[in-house]
Amino acid sequence: MARNRDSWGSRLGIIMAVAGSAVGLGNFLRFPAKAAANGGGAFLIPYFVALLLLGIPLMWIEWTLGRFGGGFGHSTAPGIFHSIRQKNRFIKYFGIIGIFGPLVIFIYYCYVEAWTLAYGFFAVTGKYAGIADQAGMRSFLAAFQGLEKNSHFNGISTAYIFFLITFILNIWVIYHGIKGGIERLCKWAMPLLFICGVVLLCRVLTLGAPDLARPDWNVANGFGFLWNPDFSALANPKVWLEAAGQIFFTLSVGIGVILTYSSYLSKGDDVVLSGLTSVSTNELAEVVLGGSIVIPAAFVFFGPDQMKEIVSGGLFNLGFVTIPLVLNKLPLANIMGFIWFSLLFLAAVTSSVSLIQPAVAFLGDEFNLGRKKAVWAFAAVTFVLCQAPIFFLKNGVVDELDFWGGTFFLVVFAAIETVLFVWVFGMEKAWDEIHQGADMRVPQAYKWIIKFVTPAFLLFILGGWFFDKEGFWAMILMKNVSGPDKPYVLGARVGIFVMLGVLALLVKLAWKKTTGWIFIVLSWGFIWGLLVFCFARVFSKKEMK
């Protein structure tokens, strides 16, 4: 604990970093698709209800707990939870999810992030410029991902090169620490991101009706397709679950990243106004930019009938198939495409570096490892683990990782930290802690909301999943997984729970202060991952034969 801890260089730095963690691919792809598919403008009602009753309270909880735990020299959930009730020797284990979630998400997110970098290069070089229909663009994407071979790509080598570049870039940023790496990146990446967004928004607003035979295919009707409310959708509980789920994704609450970022604050640093500022920045990116670029632009060229198919076709289809086709039809298509994928890449990289920090901070805080050793240990293990979503994308591995790391455990962790904050830390003590150094007072109503409404909302989400036979239980029981893919999905699931077990062991060793074991455990994890990968590759080759 005597080791000098990292810190933020400025208040703007942490606001930009937290906003950068929150602003990701979901703001520009997931939000417009979910809104269009779930009642249009009516979706905003449960969305803003969830923001006020779930997102903002969880944001304040995480900023406050992080700053509190940082005062004890802890930057990750196990140590922060231990700081709340040090006499309880089990409480720290609840914090394992706060390291596990970001780690699992990073394993596949880094690869998807590499696609945005690659497509930015393809836009500039005109590699997909001659493609004129969705089938052709889907074939281009599938070949790039290594799912098929055609005249565009002959294997996964191109995608892998861009993955290596992206992985190295992430490690390089995190290697330079909080102030010199993450803060410096976010201070220039976030303004650049908004500049790209504004340029694209202005271009969308100036689109005419390209098809004279269909003058109703225009920007105004495109906004109408997205925002005209279907109030009957509000009677569907799934719409409310989708809205609440979007709030989790968009604010990065329940992951553990905000806990880590805010742990580098000092006791007198404000968390109330700073937290609200980061939320406002994210909402501006999502509702204003995300809701005004993708769907209206696609509507102009594809019309209402195809839009329904596009919206239900998935985020990859929307971002890497539909929008490139739209931009191909505009003047300066190469430049517009580069701006679009630059927007996505900047959103992705500011999020991905935030996913690395909890694991690196855990190794530094609890095992007293220097940043260099901690970063290299993280890089060695995750590089091996990243191979699974790269080579087994077609087998459902990414969906499996996203379900556990980016959906299920995210809500579970949010429920755990809320209960600890309100009922273990104590609401009165928590309320005083929130206002330490605050530039504004939180409305008194939020004291009641945080104590009762937010936990009830989280139980509503968990309960809704429990009774969702077509979604949640179908995923658990692998009902929608084809027979040949089940071994891969099951292998990913086993690997996920092995990771949880390894993290639990690391927490146990950390509190026993047996620092020498860290290298043994990490080496074992590296070797285990390598063996699993090699076995899976051999298995897949035999299956293809």
pLDDT one-digit tens code per residue, 94-131? 999 999 999 999 999 999 999 999 999 999 999 999 89
For the stretch 253-311, pLDDT in tens is: 999 999 999 999 998 899 999 999 999 999 999 999 999 998 999 888 888 888 888 88
Q: CA 130, 293, 245 angle in degrees (round to 5)?
A: 115
Q: What phi-psi label fits residue 478: left (phi over 0), alpha (psi between -120 and 50 degrees) or beta?
A: left
The encoded tokens of residue 429 equal: 């003590």
Closest-CA residue to 294 (of 328, 340, 335) = 340
Q: Has residue 540 got a pLDDT over 50?
A: yes
CA–CA separation, 448 vs 157, rounded Å?
55
CA–CA separation, 515 vs 273, rounded Å?
39
- Identify how many contiguous H helices and E strands the chain contains and give both numbers: 29, 0
The pLDDT of residue 2: 43
CA atoms within 13 A on the CB side of 545: 6
Q: What is the DSSP letter of 230?
A: -
Q: Has residue 137 got a pLDDT over 80?
A: yes
- Determine the average pLDDT of the residues in 485-493: 91
Q: Has residue 214 got a pLDDT over 90?
A: no
- Determine the average pLDDT of the residues in 204-231: 84
Contacts of 496 (CB under 8 A, 6+ apart): 104, 400, 401, 404, 405
Closest-CA residue to 94 (of 103, 109, 84) = 84
Instruction: Report the Cα–Cα distance between both ends of the chain, in Å, rounded.
Output: 56
Q: Is this structure's pTM higher than 0.85? A: yes
Long-range contacts of the stretch 301-309 (C-beta < 8 A, 24+): 301/210, 301/211, 301/217, 301/325, 301/326, 301/329, 303/214, 303/217, 304/221, 304/225, 307/36, 307/225
Q: 11-544, what's its fold?
A: Hydantoin permease (1.10.4160)
Residue ranges per structural domain of the chain: 11-544
Q: Which amino acid is at 16?
A: M
Q: Which amino acid is at 108?
A: Y
Q: Give the burial class of 24: count Cβ atoms within 10 A of its Cβ; 0-12 exposed, 13-18 middle, 19 or more buried.
A: buried
- Determine the average pLDDT of the residues in 1-19: 82
